[in-house]
Structure 1
Amino acid sequence: MLSVIFFARFGQIITSLLFKAGEPHALAFFHQTFTPFYYAAPACFYLYITGFLQDRKHLQKIEWLHFVPTLLAIIHVIPWHLPVTNDWNLVGTQLAQNGYFSLKAKTGLFPPYFHYIGRPLLVLGYLCATWITVMRLKNKPQQLLESEGRKWIIFFLRVATFFQLLGLVPIILRFLHIPYVNTYFIVMNCLALLLVLLYTLHKPYIFYGYLLVAVDWTKKPTSKQTTGIDPGLISLKTENQTRTPITAKKIKFLDAQLAGYAFAMKEIMEREQLYLVHDFQIIDLAAKLNLPIHHCSFVINKQIGKNFRDWINGYRIDYFLKQYPLKSDKITIEAIASEAGFKSQATFYNAFKKETGLMPTAYFAHELSH
């Protein structure tokens, strides 16, 4: 979803350069190539954010209907043999004067209003739908994001909303008969993008796990000690370093090595109850085992069959289920969840439902009935 949004933005930059440079043939090619992305981007924006908030990684069948405008855009740009040819010099002039949402020259099969009315309505409609969905989820504590995810999605939502609304400003000004210069809006876009880049350089961790690597590299290992680690594991590590070449793209382990690493991870996790630490990350586990982070991730995914977050949350849910009968009459569910290592209610509720298939109240009611 994000790639489609970025491609659409990239297409706008390319075509801006081309109509400013007076290259009608290149403008025709790139404008038609990127037009389907323009019509897909608003839907992708909505589906990415709603899917992220609801912790869904796949589209539901009915959600594919959001891409009907994209299909129409593809039909629109197919080079049909029509009696009237497109005037790309006029297209370039209108783009330079009035911007993308004001293009009234014919660019394909459908009438011009397919572009200058259809696109603004599509952008505004999906923008409103996205914000309505976000505001509704605020009233559901069990669906709130943990802090890292919340920071990322709020950052992305605000930045995307700003640029989309900025693109609609020329339409409003023209409707109000207020004179403006389109070049100024291009400069404003560039300055705004520069500010966003400066902000992300100042706080790069906001992209952790979403655009950058799935490892919290802002945290430094506390130590390189191997105290308490099975000597057999160290020999396995040494054997792997000498016999098995490790590359960034592919990791190869013998079955015995995978089993040895997985056993050591489980043993140290259970013995030291590392899952009770709120901010415990895979980088901390790697430091305790004196292993590369990508090796830890590979073993957890390949041998244990879960990603790191689901794996550690499984321990926390198990701890919670053991403690709840003992403490439920003294402290709240949320307090017990915090003791189990969850640093937010949202993470706890999502993890609990993922592990048991039910929310806590329904789960314990079901247990009591049996």
Structure 2
Amino acid sequence: MTQTHIELIKVWFIFSFSLGCWTCLNLLISRRGDRQVKNTILIFIILLLAPPLNAYLGLVNSQPTHWIATLAHKLTWCYGPIMVALIRHILLRPIGRLSYLLQALPFALFFMHDLLHLKIISLPVMVTLLFVHIFSYLGYAIYLLKAERLRLLKLTTQFKNTSYYWLIYLVGSLSFIMLVDVGVFTSLLRGQFPSFTALAAIASLVAIFVNTIALFSLYQPDVFFHEIKPQEEPKPETKPHLRSIELSPEAARQLDEQLQELVKNHKPHLDEDISLPKLASLLGVTSHQLSELLNIHKNTSFYDFLNDLRYQESLNFLATNENELTIADIAYRSGFNNRNSFYKVFKEKTGLTPSQYKKYQTTSN
């Protein structure tokens, strides 16, 4: 390798590291977006700073910096937990801090094991454990995405260019990195040693891709997407011809209290698979009884009932100053089928568009 090639490789690593630092700075100072999502991405990008930094220091120093090299070599233990955390953010089911800490334990233990030169666990055993770790997380990720395929389908078709849509690309990059690492460690077990420079260059390329996607998730440029044509909204259900009135005023009141309690604790309007029969089964009543409660006693339809709950959910997001969520993000998190239905319901309820309402709230505060 000539000196010119070495200098070009150094520039590549410096660029990768600098872009990562710039992305971290943007995530830290920007008020846009969900704070938990940004923190997860921030952790991911900080960890990805290690490989290009370690590769650069390896080219300029005769001896690598031990703790940075150890960190760069143990990142594989972090990728699975971060991937699952991102998927749960996509599905609007974020995990708590305790779960984060517990899932970070394998990384912490093996990092300290190598950092302190303990040599308690042999390389074959460590690689075997790592493979179990990787494929367990990949399997769990597939299970989560399959179980919530309706929400994922809605996100990829109706809510492109939301911050949650861009997270899908980060999940894909993590899957790619994990599979590459499987190949690398398999080669090591066979006594084959891949090129350090080539691996570092690939890691830097992935880091650049991740940084770019992270910035897209934060600022959500419209240049990549065409406006989605409005889809025909499902028509509100018509009031059925009830064969008989089954609920007395007292029974209707009790069922309404049960319904409000269910809405408060479980938020069925956020369920992609919610239907009248499913909601009725959650309440332990028949579909006919629930229809009677909504149509006769509450003078609404199932469709309007759900949209009113979603509207109330969106008001909570619009009234909160902690996160500067975009209108598309709010529509997705509130459970609406698409942005068109969100705008339509919001206009009917307030006489304003969501953007106008948000601007009014900002100026009045």
Report TM bin, short chain: 0.3 to 0.5
Higher-RCO chain (CA-CA 8 Å, sequence separation at least 6): 2
